[in-house]
Structures are given as structure tokens and as C-alpha cells.
């Protein structure tokens, strides 16, 4: 028997479990350990609540979770309740699939003012992550600035701009919907430090902005490169830039304007007691494509500044860590004998949910190569006795199904669920 522990129950974790099942059949026992009582990581807490079709992939993970070889062990924080060295004693392979849930700091003066929020916190808040249920972001001011030109920035801008009716069918949590429906944003500015050809946004997500009820996306035509230059782009990027060109055409005005501010780099946030404005440096790309300031600066009013500039994997005691890259030190997923990293914890926060599938299969291949046959290690029975001895209240997949059923029962009309946003509520819902 090969005993495998996967730390983290998001896409990378479940794809790795699926790959181990396929590689080893009945000759493996896989424990998926998560610090939360609820599974699915980024699918539950990161994917936008109005993107339910993406969240539907959780059904595939459920099929893996319900097999005999795989079990979910929730409410267990690795590094606190049990250490990585202890897991390595109990299991033949330990795979860290902990994602990248910490915000990369904005790193400008004033980024600690109230009102400046990282996207992990902001997205976690509207998605009901227990770490951010009490965030209370300053929604309701007229002007918001969203920093970054990636898909997370698009998610945040869209969520800020939607009407209550546009959240129909989503699982945005009640505490966020109540705040957002009362908001009266007039301008949401997306600050992109480079140009339209350097965005990290994808066409489908950009296209959604064109269909919002009360908001209109706007691009300054002067920021667009000559049309002929689009020919050199790959097809996806060309399609994305075509949306930007459309946003530069005259459109009927709407109450909320989503303004793409290209070649714009935040240099500081100012305000007496909370964020009031972002000071922005105008940039350009030099002949070799490097970002340089032009010397021009201007102020954008903003009481809410959401920084969507990427994420880091938090370190875990005893695990080699690459501080410069913000993830576990690894070579193609190998960290140390028996210890692996997969998904964002391996390669950083890039790619779609599906990118994690080949990643999971690659790790299963490494485990197969490194651990030729099973061992007499204690595996899940050993973990159970350690956790019982320490009084840890484990949440099983059956418990999660009860939590999920309770969330479905209390959903507002038209919504798939109303998530519990605190750990105490999640644990209570098991009974
Ligand atoms: P991302 O795609 O890496 O984009 C980060 C953005 O932040 C880039 O535009 C980057 O600009 C900018 N940036 C970085 N540091 C900055 C700084 N100090 N000041 C100003 N701007 C800065 O990251 P993400 O948006 O967090 O997305 C993470 C991953 O999740 C991506 O692969 C994304 O596609 C995926 N995702 C997908 C979906 C979807 O498919 N619907 C939704 C959400 C997220 P530079 O390019 O100049 O560095």
C-alpha cells in the first residue's frame, strides 16, 4: 500500500488525488488534508461567485472524494495540528497543494491605509472565506481603483459594478451582497502599468464587461497601438485586444464607468486616516520593452483600492522555501525525498483551473518513480491517532456533505447556496 497525504483540497489537490487513483488503483490510500472544514479551495473561495459554470468542476472532485481510496480530512492545519516532518513519518509521499492564498504586497507608501485591500482578502470576503468574513471593506464611495491587468482585477471590477439582479444565480455571500447593493460607485479605474498588448486578461472575461446593466467599460483610444500590430499577437490575445478596441468606441454612458487606465503605475496612496487618493506615475515601454516612468504624475480619487497583482504561497515550518518567488523551493515538484509541491504552490499563481490537472498527473508520475512499492508506514490510521491524541476535531467528507446540504437549504431564492462564512457555523452545521 502506498500512503499518500495531500495538503490542500483545491483543484491541485483533487487532481493529484485523481491521478494517484489512476496510477495506483486500490494499492494506495490518499488523505486530502485541509485547514478549513470545507473542501475545494480556490473553487469555493477564489472563483468569482457569478462564474458558477467554472465552480461546477467541484462535482468531478466529489466523485474522487467519494471513492474508497481517497478521504477528506478537514479542519486540520498542517504546520499547527500536525507538522510536515510528522506527515513524512506517517506517509510515503506528502504533496503540498496549498495554493497561493496570500497577497503579494503592493509595496508603495500608504499601502497600509484602511481602504487598501489585497485581492485575496477582497475576493475571500465576497466569497465567504472565514479568514475575511469580518473584512468590512469601505464600499460605497464614488471612486474605486483596482490595480493590475489580470483576470482577478477584472473579477473585482465586475463584482463592484454589478447590480443586485445581476448576482441572481450566483453564490455571492449575503454579507457582501448587502453591502454591494447599497454601493453607488461612479468610477472603477483599472490601473495597468503596461499597455493593451501586455494585459494578462482573457477574452471571455473581458467580453463580460460589455454586457453589464449599469456599467460601461472605457478605453482611451490614444492608449491603443496601431491596429496592424495586433497581427503579431496570438489568437487569444488578439481577441482580448479586440474587446479593448471596442471599449474605445463611443458607447452610451451608464452610471458606473469602468475606466482602463493604461501605462499607469501606482506610486503611493494618500489620505489622512484612510485611503483618499492614489498617486499614479505615467509610464511607457522603452525600445527594449522595459517599463519606464515618463515623469508625469497625477492623482486618482479612491476610497477603496484593491490590489490584484498576484499571490504568494505562505511558508510552512520545516519546508524549504523560495522567498524571492513566494513558493516552496522545488525542482519540477520535488522538494525533498517524499515531499512534493503541486499547482500554485509549485509553479506560482498562473494558469486556469484546468492547468492543475496535468500538474497533478506529473506529480503522480514522480511518486510512482520515487516510491516503487508501498510501505508499512502507519498512513491514515497513524494520522488519526495523532489528531485524536491532540483533540483535533476532524471534519469528514460526510460531514462536509451535511454542511453543504445546510448551505443549500438556507440559500436565498435563485442562489445555489448561502455559504457559512465562519468556522463555528460550519462545524455546527454537521449535526
Ligand atoms: P496575473 O494574471 O499574474 O496578473 C497580475 C497583474 O498585476 C498583471 O497585469 C501585472 O502586470 C500586475 N502587477 C504585478 N505587480 C504589479 C505592481 N507592483 N504594480 C502594478 N501592477 C502589478 O494575476 P491574477 O489576476 O491574480 O490571476 C492569477 C491567475 O488566476 C492567472 O493565471 C489568471 O488568469 C487566473 N484567473 C483566471 C480567471 C478566469 O479564468 N476567469 C479568473 C481569475 C484568475 P505586469 O504584467 O506588468 O507584471
pLDDT at position 411: 97
Q: 413, exposed or middle or buried, with CB in 10 Å at 0-12, 13-18, 19+?
A: exposed
User: CA-CA distances (angstroms) from residue 189 to 168, 258, 270?
Assistant: 25, 6, 16
pLDDT at 183: 84
Which residue's C-alpha comes closest to atom 2 of ligand 1? 150
- 82-99 pLDDT, tens digit per residue, is 999 999 999 999 999 999
Distance CA 235, CA 230 (A): 9
- pLDDT for residue 374: 76
Q: Determine the pLDDT at residue 20.
A: 96
111 grid coordinates: 499601502
Model pLDDT, residue 330: 98
339-341 and 334-336 beta bridge pairing: antiparallel
| Residue 148 Cα to ligand 1 middle (Å) | 6
pLDDT digits (tens, 9 = 90+) for 407-416: 999 999 999 9
- Residues with beta carbon inside 6 Å of ligand 1? 147-153, 155, 193-194, 198, 200, 202, 205, 265, 308-310, 349-352
Pocket test for ligand 1, best of 45, 120, 121, 148 (most atoms within 8 A of CB): 148
pLDDT at 182: 85
Query: What is the rounded (10 degree) CA torsion for 376, 380, 386, 390?
Result: 180
Tracing cell 431564492 back to the chain, one arrives at 413
CA dihedral 158, 162, 168, 173 (to 10 degrees): 70
Q: What is d(CA 185, CA 249) in angstroms, rounded to the nearest whole number?
A: 22
- Check: CB of residue 180 under 8 Å from CB of residue 151: no
Q: What is the pLDDT of residue 277?
A: 98
Task: Kindly report the protein residue whose alpha carbon is nearest to atom 15 of ligand 1.
Answer: 309
Which pLDDT does position 307 carry in this prediction?
Answer: 98
Q: Which mean pLDDT values do the consecutive 10-residue runs of the chain (431 residues) have?
A: 96 97 94 98 97 93 92 97 97 97 97 98 98 93 95 98 96 96 89 98 97 97 97 97 97 94 98 97 96 98 97 96 97 97 96 93 96 88 97 97 97 97 97 85
Q: Whose CA is nearest to atom 9 of ligand 1?
A: 149
Question: What residue owns the CA closest to ligand 1's atom 4?
Answer: 150
pTM metric for this prediction: 0.97
Cα 92 → chain centroid: 29
Ligand 1, atom 42, lies closest to the CA of 151
pLDDT recorded at residue 184 = 80
Domains, the chain, ordered by start = 2-101+313-428 (3.40.50.720), 105-307 (3.50.50.60)
Amino acid at each position: 500500500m502506498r500512503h499518500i497525504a495531500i495538503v490542500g483540497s483545491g483543484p491541485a489537490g483533487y487532481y493529484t488525488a485523481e491521478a494517484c487513483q489512476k496510477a495506483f488503483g486500490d494499492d494506495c490510500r490518499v488523505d486530502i488534508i485541509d485547514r478549513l472544514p470545507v473542501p475545494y479551495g480556490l473553487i469555493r473561495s477564489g472563483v468569482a461567485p457569478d462564474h458558477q459554470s467554472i465552480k461546477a468542476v467541484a462535482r468531478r472532485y466529489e466523485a474522487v472524494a467519494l471513492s474508497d481510496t481517497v478521504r477528506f480530512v478537514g479542519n486540520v492545519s498542517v504546520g499547527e495540528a500536525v507538522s510536515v516532518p510528522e506527515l513524512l513519518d506517517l506517509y510515503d509521499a506528502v504533496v503540498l497543494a496549498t495554493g497561493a492564498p496570500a497577497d503579494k504586497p503592493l509595496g508603495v507608501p500608504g499601502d497600509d491605509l484602511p481602504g487598501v485591500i489585497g485581492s485575496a482578502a477582497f475576493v475571500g470576503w465576497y466569497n465567504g472565506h472565514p479568514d475575511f468574513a469580518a473584512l468590512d471593506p469601505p464600499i460605497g464611495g464614488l471612486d474605486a481603483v483596482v490595480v493590475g491587468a489580470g483576470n482577478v482585477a477584472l473579477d473585482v471590477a465586475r463584482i463592484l459594478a454589478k447590480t443586485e439582479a445581476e448576482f441572481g444565480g450566483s453564490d455571492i455571500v449575503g454579507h457582501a451582497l448587502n453591502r454591494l447593493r447599497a454601493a453607488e460607485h461612479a468610477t472603477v479605474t483599472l490601473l495597468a502599468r503596461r499597455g493593451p498588448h501586455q494585459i494578462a486578461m482573457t477574452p471571455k472575461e473581458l467580453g463580460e464587461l460589455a454586457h453589464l446593466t449599469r456599467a460601461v467599460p472605457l478605453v482611451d483610444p490614444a492608449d491603443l497601438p496601431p491596429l496592424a500590430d495586433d497581427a503579431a499577437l496570438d489568437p487569444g490575445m488578439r481577441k482580448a485586444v479586440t474587446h479593448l478596441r471596442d471599449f474605445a468606441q463611443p458607447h452610451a454612458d451608464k452610471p458606473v464607468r469602468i475606466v482602463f487606465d493604461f501605462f499607469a503605475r501606482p506610486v503611493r496612496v494618500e489620505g489622512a486616516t484612510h485611503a483618499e487618493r492614489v498617486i499614479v506615475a505615467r509610464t511607457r515601454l522603452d525600445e527594449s520593452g522595459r517599463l519606464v516612468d515618463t515623469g508625469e504624475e497625477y492623482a486618482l480619487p479612491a476610497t477603496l483600492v484593491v490590489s490584484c497583482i498576484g499571490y504568494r504561497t505562505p511558508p510552512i515550518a520545516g519546508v524549504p522555501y523560495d522567498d524571492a518567488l513566494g513558493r516552496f523551493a522545488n525542482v519540477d515538484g520535488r522538494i525533498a525525498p517524499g515531499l512534493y509541491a503541486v499547482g500554485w504552490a509549485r509553479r506560482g499563481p498562473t494558469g486556469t483551473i484546468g492547468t492543475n490537472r496535468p500538474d497533478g498527473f506529473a506529480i503522480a508520475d514522480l511518486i510512482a518513480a520515487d516510491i516503487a512499492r508501498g510501505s508499512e508506514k502507519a498512513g491514515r490510521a497513524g494520522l488519526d491517532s495523532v489528531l485524536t491524541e491532540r483533540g483535533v476535531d476532524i471534519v469528514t467528507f460526510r460531514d462536509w456533505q451535511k454542511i453543504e446540504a445546510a448551505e443549500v437549504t438556507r440559500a436565498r431564492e435563485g442562489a445555489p447556496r448561502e455559504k457559512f462564512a465562519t468556522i463555528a457555523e460550519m462545524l455546527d452545521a454537521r449535526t
